[in-house]
Structure 1
């Protein structure tokens, strides 16, 4: 445990940030998984709604610095590709 006052504060704030980041990243993964499962279940309307939510969370994660912008772009692209294939099928 640090002795210096600023170092003690740093430990506290970094722990708060870590917990918040973990929570947001978990919610992001859940949203992406929900969109993926909706596509697998061939439910077009649910998949569209889930894609919008996932896209929003991915964009937010990029602005917060949780994930790299190219990673978010890749995930959005892959989800949209799956949804388009499903829409053509139906």
Structure 2
């Protein structure tokens, strides 16, 4: 348990940030899920449209330290590769 005033305030701040970060993480995962579902169904156009929305979500999450930047880049790369395979 926090003893000092500053530690108590830090605990409150952490709780607020956790709520915001959870929301952003959920939003990011939802965007990625839509792309993955479009890829699974084989619909390239839907996958491209979803990817246009998902890529900024991933990169913004990386900028805000929700996920590591390499994780976001890897996810974008893998999704892009899967979409490219649909064209063949």
TM-score above 0.5: yes
The ranges of structure 1 where at least 4 consecutive aligned residues each deviate by more than 3 angstroms after the TM superposition are: none
| Structure 1: tracts of 5 or more residues without a match | none
Which residue does 2:32 correspond to in 1? 32
* 1:34 aligned counterpart, secondary structure: helix
TM-score, L = length of structure 1: 0.89
| C-alpha separation in 2, matches of 1:11 and 1:70 | 29
Distance 2:20 2:35 in 1: 23
- Asked if 1:70 corresponds to 2:70, the answer is yes
Do structure 1's residue 8 and structure 2's residue 8 form an aligned pair?
yes
Which segments of 5 or more consecutive residues in structure 2 lack a partner in the other structure? none
Number of residue pairs the alignment of both structures matches: 88
